[in-house]
A and B are shown apart, each in its own frame.
Chain A
Amino acid sequence: MSGMSKIVKTISSITFPLITIYGLYVIAHGHLTPGGGFQGGAIVASGCAMMLVSYGSIWIVSRVKEKNLSILESLGAVCFILLALLGLGFGAVFFNNFLVGTNSLFGVVPAAGSGLADINTGGVIPLMNFAVGLKVIAGLFGIVLVMAHASRTKGEKK
């Protein structure tokens, strides 16, 4: 599809970084607040889809290749499975949360009950959030990009 008017392009350029930052915040605080990898990834992918609608798929495809998005998505999946396998190696079982209680990165156990948020908790859950978030961003944006690029009309090839 082709791009839209100058006004839409300007507003999209202004709001796209804010949407991306908010989505990354939701991903990074997935173990503390409502949200997580899926929801934050969907937010960032929505921002990318907004850029796609306003600028047109030809402009986007000349900068972002779908092959690279596919590689990013596979990277997220591999990171996720690798973290699960590390649980098998360090602990006893697949998907074992081996980082919790070690007081290292993300290893602090919070006090039971209602409390303030401490970002340094959660074990492997924040890392898995990042892996799944990368996977969802690349996957959803890849789907939207491919479908939008396939629906362009004949005269728009430039």
Chain B
Amino acid sequence: MSRRDIAAVLSFSIVAMFFIFGALMIHPFGAPDETGMDDNIITNAQTETGANNAVTSVVFDYRGFDTLGEATILFTAVAAVIMIFRRLNK
């Protein structure tokens, strides 16, 4: 077992310990702590955006910039994949 393997096992165990403790000590399932913003969105989504689906109103209206960044990432990935395979498809 080389030194590299020992370092990998050690770091993996430390990260695993943090994850297990975090999963056990987080707030109980089904009772989120801070819900003010989401309650505001649930209450006002219909009158402010006109959409019955609150999730869609968040995606395209309240947090449109996130969707813009996501569209940019999708565009970049498609362009990169087509560029990578262009030579193979000739």
Where the two chains meet, the residues of A that have a C-beta atom closer than 8 Å to any C-beta of B are: 30-34, 36, 66, 70, 73-74, 77, 80-81, 84, 94-95, 97, 100-101, 106-113, 115, 117, 121-125, 128-129, 132, 135-136, 139, 142-143, 146-147, 149-150
Bound-state CA distance A151–B81 (Å) is 14
Give the residues in chain A near B82, CB-CB below 8 Å.
Answer: 66, 70, 142-143, 146
Give the residues in chain B near A139, CB-CB below 8 Å.
Answer: 74-75, 77-78
- Is A122 in contact with B78, judged by CB distance below 8 angstroms? no
Which of B2-10, B11-19, B48-56 sits within the interface? B48-56
Bin the interface of chain B by size: 20 to 34
Bound-state CA distance A106–B71 (Å) is 23
Within the complex, the shortest CB–CB distance from B89 to chain A, in Å, comes to 5
Closest to B43 in A: A112
Question: Assuming A66-B82, A143-B81, is B67 touching A31 (CB within 8 A)?
Answer: no
Within the complex, the shortest CB–CB distance from A75 to chain B, in Å, comes to 11
Within the complex, the shortest CB–CB distance from A65 to chain B, in Å, comes to 11
Secondary structure of the B side of the interface?
Answer: helix
Closest to A142 in B: B78
- Is B81 in contact with A146, judged by CB distance below 8 angstroms? yes
- Is A149 in contact with B89, judged by CB distance below 8 angstroms? yes
Closest to B53 in A: A31
* Cβ of B47 under 8 Å from chain A: yes
Which of B23-31, B32-40, B57-65 sits within the interface? B57-65
